[in-house]
């Protein structure tokens, strides 16, 4: 039995590459913002909120996640949300984060794009200055909505282009294949955005192929179903295409029944560039450090595996080569 402590995990500098900022809205902040903004929530108190977090599928989670996001109205709300997440990063020694935000979740309620991004950006700038955490923003399109809406969002983002590293694709996967968004990803590429997409979370391996071939993405979010297609798994290994795996999320959303059944170790053994991430930590029971810790216990990961995972998080990031090299060297010198 390997005994690795939370402190050993904390010593490893880590990057987080799959985090929805709206999914870091803790019940306490949800209540506080509801009061501040005069919004009536479905829930009377914190225990009612927590009791609602029993999910049976991705959709059952998304319904509650979009409901919670309604308390975010003003720039200050987006600032508070992001700042709280950064404090968790500091606790976990997450030194770099590539953060998803879903503009349509807010603009469809009449919140201006500028309000959202100004709040996020202000917190991220302060995070760099006061906590030493670097970050990029990834703007995600909601795939249950038409491609035309994604085009409109792309248009709205252009005045803030320099603040956004890339685009992503999230929300209800099955029935909304990546190819639905081929043209908007092409347009975003022309504007210089990098790209990622959720694929193979609940959807089949064909969606992962489509995300690679039609959307021409740089890395895959989730992608855990790739092992069902040996040719695909081989392709990911050979081309070093990263997966941003979210273990606690996968268990909460019943992709795996329990963490012991998770295929993270199999992905690593297949030579795939897999990383650990928290997805929506306020809903799934743990931030990045907790994901590393629970996986270590359930999957019997060694310190060597953890060093590989932490290294993969920088290799798979959008950081420039010199910054990747800096963190990789630090990890290399931590004893196994």
Residues 166-185 that bind ligand ADE (CB under 6 A): 170-171
Tell me which of Zn ion, ligand ADE, none is bound by residue 244, counting a contact when its beta carbon lies within the kind-specific cut-off of 5 to 8 angstroms. Answer: none
- Of 248 and 301, the one with the shorter C-beta distance to ligand ADE is 248
Q: Which is nearer to ligand ADE, 26 or 201 (CB)?
A: 201
265-324 residues in contact with Zn ion (CB under 5 A) are 279
Q: Is 307 helix (H, G, I), strand (E, B) or coil?
A: helix
Helices (H), the chain: 6-11, 27-36, 46-52, 58-69, 75-92, 103-107, 113-126, 147-157, 182-190, 205-213, 230-239, 247-252, 264-269, 281-284, 288-299, 303-315, 321-332
Which residue, 197 or 331, has its beta carbon nearer to Zn ion? 197
16 lines the binding site for Zn ion (CB under 5 A)? no
> Which residues on adjacent β-strands are paired with residue 245?
276
b or e along 292-330 (b: 16 or more beta carbons within 10 Å of the residue's beta carbon)?
Answer: bbbbbebbebebebbbbbbbbbbbbbbbeeeebeebbeb
Q: Does 280 interact with ligand ADE (rule: CB under 6 A)?
A: yes
Close Cβ partners of 1 (under 8 Å, ≥ 6 residues apart): 300
In the region spanning residues 293 to 322, those forming contacts with ligand ADE, defined by CB under 6 A, are none
Residue tagged active-site, from 75, 98, 173, 201: 201
Which partner in Zn ion, ligand ADE, none is near 262 (CB below 5 to 8 A by kind)? Answer: none
Interaction of residue 98 with ligand ADE, rule CB under 6 A = no
Q: Is 20 in the site for ligand ADE (CB under 6 A)?
A: yes
Q: Phi/psi zone of residue 270: left (φ > 0), alpha (ψ -120 to 50 degrees), beta?
A: alpha
- Backbone conformation region of residue 279, classed left if phi is above 0, alpha if psi is from -120 to 50, else beta: left
Closer of 26 and 75 to Zn ion (Cβ): 26
Q: Is 102 a binder of Zn ion (CB under 5 A)?
A: no
Note if 26 is an active site residue: no
User: Residues in the site for ligand ADE, rule: CB under 6 A?
Assistant: 20, 23, 58, 65, 170-171, 198, 201, 249, 279-280
* Active site positions, annotated: 201
User: Residues in the site for Zn ion, rule: CB under 5 A?
Assistant: 279
């Amino acid at each position: 039995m390997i005994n690795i402590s939370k402190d050993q995990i904390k010593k490893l500098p880590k990057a987080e590459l799959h985090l929805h900022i709206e999914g870091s809205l803790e019940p306490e902040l949800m209540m506080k913002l509801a009061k501040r903004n005069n919004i009536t929530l479905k829930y009377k108190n914190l225990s009612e909120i927590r009791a609602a977090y029993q999910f049976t599928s991705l959709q059952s989670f998304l319904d509650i996640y979009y409901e919670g996001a309604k308390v975010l109205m003003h720039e200050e709300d987006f600032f508070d949300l992001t700042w709280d997440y950064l404090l968790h990063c500091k606790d976990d020694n997450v030194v770099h984060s590539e953060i998803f935000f879903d503009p349509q979740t807010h603009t469809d309620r009449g919140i201006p794009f500028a309000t959202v991004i100004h709040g996020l950006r202000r917190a991220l700038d302060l995070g760099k200055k006061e906590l030493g955490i670097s970050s990029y923003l990834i703007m995600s399109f909601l795939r249950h909505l038409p491609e035309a809406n994604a085009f409109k969002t792309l248009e709205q983002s252009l005045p803030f282009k320099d603040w956004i590293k890339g685009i992503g694709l999230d929300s209800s996967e099955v029935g909304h294949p990546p190819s639905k968004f081929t043209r908007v990803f092409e347009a975003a590429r022309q504007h210089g955005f990098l790209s990622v997409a959720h694929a193979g979370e609940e959807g089949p391996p064909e969606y992962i192929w489509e995300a690679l071939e039609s959307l021409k993405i740089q890395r895959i979010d989730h992608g855990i179903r790739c092992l069902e297609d040996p040719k695909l798994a081989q392709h990911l290994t050979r081309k070093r295409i990263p997966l941003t795996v979210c273990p606690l999320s996968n268990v909460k959303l019943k992709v795996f029944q329990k963490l012991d059944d998770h295929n993270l170790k199999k992905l690593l053994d297949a030579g795939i560039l897999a990383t650990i991430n928290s997805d929506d930590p306020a809903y799934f029971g743990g931030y990045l450090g907790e994901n590393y810790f629970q996986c270590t216990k359930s999957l019997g990961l060694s310190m060597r595996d953890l060093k590989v995972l932490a290294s993969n998080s920088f290799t798979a990031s959008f950081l420039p080569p010199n910054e990747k090299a800096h963190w990789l060297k630090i990890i290399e010198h931590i004893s196994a």
